[in-house]
Amino acid sequence: MSASLRPVLETLTRQRGVRASLIVSEKDGLVIDSSLRFGQDGERVAALAASVYRKARLSAKAAQLGAVTFLQLDAERGRICVAGAGTDLVIVTVADPAANVGLIRMELFKALELIA
């Protein structure tokens, strides 16, 4: 499984400004596979991003807004984008503040189709 996921992640990490891409189990917050630039802590990002995504998904469900497909968290020194397709797997990217979110979002959805 990991061999087929790696190209998906590498494509994401090649996007300008993307520092890390990970496939994460939303339930456990554990990394399934990752493509990280130097200095990125994959396990920490995976656990925290999965937790935030899970809370967003449960909140949207409680508010009767339907399924969450994309989550973007902007912070001072970077942004985290998470996309899920209703399974336990979510794809997480960590990017620079100046990265093109539209492009990242598009690539995330392409990647989701490939791993579904």
Partner 1 sequence: MKIAAVEPWVEAPLRRFVDDARARLALLLHPTGQVLAQAGFTREVDVMTACALASAVHATAGELGRQVDGRAFGGLHFGGQEKQMYLAPLETSRGSYICFTVFGEDTSLGLIRIYFEELVRELAAASLEAPPAPTAALAGGFEAELNRNLAALFRPRDRWEGRGGQPPGGR
Site for partner 1, rule CB under 8 A? 24-25, 27-30, 43-44, 46-48, 50-51, 54
Closer CB to partner 1, residue 48 or residue 101?
A: 48
- The tokens describing 48, both together, are 């925290």
C-alpha–C-alpha distance, residues 17 and 81, integer Å: 12
Residue 78 Cβ, how far from partner 1 at the closest point, in Å? 18
Residue 46 Cβ, how far from partner 1 at the closest point, in Å? 6
Closer CB to partner 1, residue 24 or residue 89?
A: 24
Instruction: Specify whether the CB–CB gap between 71 and 82 falls below 8 A.
Output: yes
With residues binned 3-state (H G I as helix, E B as strand, rest as coil), the percentages for the chain, rounded to 5, are 40, 30, 30
Closest to 84 (Cα-Cα) out of 61, 41, 10, 38? 61
Closer CB to partner 1, residue 58 or residue 67?
A: 58
Residue 28 Cβ, how far from partner 1 at the closest point, in Å? 5
Residue 106 Cβ, how far from partner 1 at the closest point, in Å? 27
